[in-house]
Chain A
């Protein structure tokens, strides 16, 4: 998928000193932002020698990040930080009006417009 959005404010951060190379982030990212790669000098950071993984995760396509937060939530060592939230202007405008955090209201029984509701209906 070649579509890209604004990337200047992206919050994704990977702390390679904590990465143990388990590959969960690669497994869960829906946009192929991460890849497990053999370590390059300087990439393994401060892990004790015995615990240095053979391979570690690297951000290879930062501009595809949509801040869904799956990688950060599933990183057992807390190596990834990503501000999770909906990329939905309707939710942001609703939040501005109500003075709350962005809230699309498509959960529960509320019948509101927008949100990702319609597009992920077809996904697993």
Chain B
């Protein structure tokens, strides 16, 4: 079953003098329990696409359906995780209260008594059980993003959408977070749409990688990553298949870039 269907999405930003076509006829589907990445150069309209999928922007044309329901406004069952964890956490709430935020909302229909145990469960899943009483600003960047992940998971969404979630942490932390995410994905049988500009990261994590071209955004290729799981940072990233995927996607993006330059 398709959890997310993106159907012929276009987005045009109308300015007074000229309009920009940010996204042109984008089309893809994500099945249950799939881990799909969207990779593309910075500024290629990835964030715009996510805003549309999350119901924060309306597309100029086309439809989004989450769990078979056409999206108008933030869809039920979808949670968007922002890159900027330090701004998306609520500084007046401590860690556990932050995790509770999504569950407290009327729409989630979670009985009051279930909220705290569930928050604790997901806080443990991201490895932060001991930090429930801390405030976000007392934590490192990687830990803050873990809190944001726990908060998203706690709502038990049918699809988790992540916008370059690990872009602003150091390499070491990033590798740890990637593995935590894979662990969670498997444990909770989550469906994930992951946006990144890091080709290696997209291959390492995903079942499928959608390669995006920029302005207007179009899908250049839909690469199925055929690398067995469980994957590990050292072995997977050094195996030959991984490297060939990497070369392939890299070439696609570079050629596209070169083509662009000639056009200009």
Q: Do A and B come from the same complex?
A: no
